[in-house]
């Protein structure tokens, strides 16, 4: 049986759509995606979302949206779609997970957002999560007292540089032009700070993959082509975003930049009947949380109106009971925990938004009736010796241990299907 509506993505667009769809009695299913809460969870202080005169942390704002959606009846699943089958006849549309398990719905709202743009130069891929990061609020505290580089010239880059300036020994902001494109307020704050700016520069290469960590960057001057080596311990890339729409290529009409084509704006309807799109995945211009939320509202209303003439039969799903206990690990009990056979250890910290999301995903996995794995959590701030022993350079990091030895390492936020596959 099909759900009435599935929402792909849990950022401002997806959760706002869930709120409106819930109030319309549509019992929406929200799939969290690769980054539950969206990119806003990686933002520090949000100053421009209406209703918060004292400002609010991005992670906290998304937690409030999620709580509101759940209170109204939305069902949130910490899962990531790996394939979709869109019916050109108006449904049902099928979403599949890594396990191959299908979930279908009459209407589908795509709110998959965007993903960080990569530089694509030497050393970037090899050193990702080894000093190359796309999220200062996630990984910045791991480089306290270190020398770091931030690449970019927009609001995100400047915000990350300012955040890191309160943690790192030094911050160098690399920008390819001689003027920032960020808001004037943000520019003024950076220019009056201790941040060093390398104007008219690009990152030519990141060193050193052979060392397994970032040791320096080679900068190229855009005016004369000269190369300069700059020692550093981490590189934070903030050079824009790309719409996260690869899953729909060949099934939906896409714009040249990869964003989803909307058939008749301001309607959120796409080229496929019963499929709607909202947020950064369909907005190459504004890319603001408030715009995404507004688009999510429109998408839910559009989907509701589209569904009105169709026979609706929502599926009721039973709640399962807790089958696995998640254990807090420290130096005293870590070795004993590894003796349990195949175990999963989550390296995290309370200041890391994605870590808290990972914790929720693992808690939901533990509640699945047919899951009986052993899960432990190591707070890297409290058990730094364990983190150092296993060379934890980015969090969250999940390590599967077999017979006391590391077997698989998963760096970054992972959905439940990936975790279950790793434990097989």
Active-site hit among 60, 89, 138, 208: 138
Active-site hit among 135, 281, 352, 355: 135
How many angstroms separate the CA atoms of 167 and 236, rounded? 14
- The 405-411 sheet, strands edge to edge: 326-329, 374-379, 343-348, 397-402, 405-411
Q: Alpha carbon of 325 to those of 302, 329, 375, 397: distances in Å?
A: 42, 12, 7, 19
- Angle of CA points 99, 103, 109, to nearest 5°: 120
Output phi, psi for 343, to 5 deg: -135, 160
Q: Is there a catalytic annotation at residue 139?
A: yes
- Please, what's the b/e burial string for 49-77 (b: 16 or more CB within 10 A of its CB; e: otherwise)? beeeeeebbbbebbbebbeebbeeebbbb
* Helix, strand, or coil (residue 155): helix
How many angstroms separate the CA atoms of 234 and 130, rounded? 8
Which positions ≥6 away from 141 have C-beta within 8 Å? 167, 349, 351, 352
Length of the chain: 424
Active-site hit among 139, 233, 244, 283: 139
- Active site (catalytic) residues: 135, 138-139
């Amino acid at each position: 049986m099909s759900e009435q509506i599935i929402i792909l993505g849990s950022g401002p667009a997806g959760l706002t759509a869930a709120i409106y769809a819930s109030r319309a009695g549509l019992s929406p299913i929200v799939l969290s995606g690769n980054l539950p809460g969206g990119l806003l969870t990686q933002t520090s202080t949000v100053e421009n979302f209406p209703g918060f005169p004292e400002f609010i942390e991005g992670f906290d704002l998304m937690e409030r949206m999620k709580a509101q959606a759940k209170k109204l009846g939305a069902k949130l699943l910490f899962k990531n779609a790996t394939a979709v089958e869109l019916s050109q006849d108006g449904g049902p549309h099928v979403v599949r997970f890594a396990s191959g398990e299908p979930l279908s719905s009459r209407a589908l709202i795509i709110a998959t957002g965007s993903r960080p743009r990569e530089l694509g130069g030497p050393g970037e891929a090899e050193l990702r999560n080894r000093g190359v990061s796309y999220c200062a609020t996630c990984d910045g505290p791991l480089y306290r007292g270190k020398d770091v580089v931030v690449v970019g010239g927009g609001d995100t880059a400047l915000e990350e540089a300012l955040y890191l300036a309160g943690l790192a020994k030094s911050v160098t902001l690399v920008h390819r032009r001689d003027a920032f494109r960020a808001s004037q307020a943000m520019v003024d704050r950076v220019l009056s700070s201790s941040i060093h700016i390398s104007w008219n520069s690009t990152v030519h290469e990141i060193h050193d993959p052979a060392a397994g960590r970032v040791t320096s960057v080679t900068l190229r001057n855009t005016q004369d082509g000269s190369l300069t080596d700059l020692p550093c311990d981490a590189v934070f890339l903030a050079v824009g975003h790309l719409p996260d729409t690869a899953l729909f290529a060949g099934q939906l009409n896409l714009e040249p930049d990869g964003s989803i084509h909307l058939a008749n704006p301001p309607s959120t309807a796409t080229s496929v009947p019963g499929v709607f799109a909202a947020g950064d995945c369909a907005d190459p211009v504004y890319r603001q949380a408030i715009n995404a939320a507004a688009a999510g509202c429109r998408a839910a209303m559009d989907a509701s109106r589209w569904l009105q003439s169709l026979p609706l039969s929502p599926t009721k799903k039973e709640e399962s009971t807790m089958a696995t206990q998640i254990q807090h690990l420290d130096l005293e009990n870590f070795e004993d925990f590894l003796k349990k056979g195949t175990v999963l250890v989550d390296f995290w910290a309370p200041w890391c938004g994605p870590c808290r999301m990972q914790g929720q995903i693992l808690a939901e996995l533990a509640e699945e009736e047919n899951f009986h794995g052993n899960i432990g959590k190591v707070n890297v701030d409290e058990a730094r010796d364990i983190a150092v022993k296993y060379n934890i350079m980015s969090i969250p990091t999940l390590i599967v241990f077999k017979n006391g030895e590391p077997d698989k390492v998963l760096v970054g936020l992972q959905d439940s299907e990936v975790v279950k596959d790793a434990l097989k």
